Amino acid sequence: MMKRRLALLNLYDGLPNQGMRAIREILDEFNNEIEYTEFDVRGKHEIPGTDFDIYLSSGGPGNPNEGDGIWDKNWNNLIDSLWSHNRAAIYPQDKKYVFFICHSFQMACAHFELGEITRRVVTSFGIYPCHKTAAGRKDSLLAELNDPYYVVDSRDWQLIQPKMKVFKDHGATILSIEKIRTHLEYERAIMAVRFSNEMVGTQYHPEADPDGMLLHFSKDENKEVILKNYSLRKYTAMMKSLEQPERIERTRASIIPSFLKDSIKKLNTKEKVQF
């Protein structure tokens, strides 16, 4: 069977992280079906062409509304090209499949003008429940997960105030929203969006694995960063939540793998059948 080509877009700009390691490990599980090429989008201004079958764009630091005028423009131009390609393509095996994670998700939502990308009052950092919408309960991306399901969240920014007419015009749907917070009046953020049959993304980090998180945050230097930027209470709560690793392991084992399996299946469709 022919391997499908995947472009892995690294948006971390050289920042030490667990995200890229975790993504690579998931992709390695599909090494019989996928071969991937990594692009340093921010640090080296690398950007793939439209000749890949699947695209996976990572999380990253900073304001999703800002860039250096080069990498962000290249990234947005790529998304426009893939969107245009998919609108012109008739059959699923001829389309391009895209997954956006966290920072990339925020950029995509801003690019398609789906709502307001705003800075959070308080940084969201830890493991939290995430609730499916009616559309999310029917979507194959979340089919293997409970409702609510648990995710690793790490962000200063969020998508709120969705423009439902824009969603409708694009054929986009909201798949899940932030945890219920009865003690706060802040609007709940949108946590997952299907932009089209081929493009989908999550505000959280579906690649995160409990062993990697436990190892990373047990190191003194990383613990100090959390204590400096957050609090001992936040650090203690996060470490305690890792005592139930099955919560995020199920998310890790489901979302990106489901996206990849679904994309490969559609790309390998022999019959010329439209959606």
Q: What is the CATH number of the domain that holds 186?
A: 3.40.50.880
> Residue 196 falls within a domain, yes or no?
yes
Encoded tokens for 150: 């648990």
Cα 4 to Cα 268: distance, rounded to the nearest angstrom: 9
Mean pLDDT over residues 157-161, rounded?
78
- pLDDT at position 185 is 46
Domain extent, residue 164, equals: 4-119+132-143+157-208+251-267
How many domains is the chain partitioned into structurally?
1
* pTM as predicted: 0.90
> Residue 214 falls within a domain, yes or no?
no
The larger pLDDT score, comparing residue 235 to residue 88, is at 88
* 127 residue type, one letter: I
> Residue 272 falls within a domain, yes or no?
no
> Residue 33 falls within a domain, yes or no?
yes
> Residue 262 falls within a domain, yes or no?
yes
Reading phi first (left if > 0) and then psi (alpha if -120 to 50, else beta), residue 14 is in left
> Residue 230 falls within a domain, yes or no?
no
> Residue 188 falls within a domain, yes or no?
yes
* Residue matched to tokens 């917070």: 181
Residue 9: pLDDT above 80? Answer: yes
Question: Could you give phi then psi for residue 103, rounded to 5 degrees?
Answer: -60, -45
If you average pLDDT over every residue of the chain, what do you get? 89
DSSP character for 3? Answer: P
Of the ranges 8-12, 75-79, 92-96, 213-217, which one carries the lowest mean pLDDT score?
213-217
> Residue 220 falls within a domain, yes or no?
no
Please report how many Cα atoms fall inside a 13 Å half-sphere around the Cα of residue 175, on the Cβ side: 25
Nearest to 128 by CA among 176, 174, 178: 178
Question: Could you give phi then psi for residue 45, rounded to 5 degrees?
Answer: 55, 35
Cα 17 to Cα 19: distance, rounded to the nearest angstrom: 6
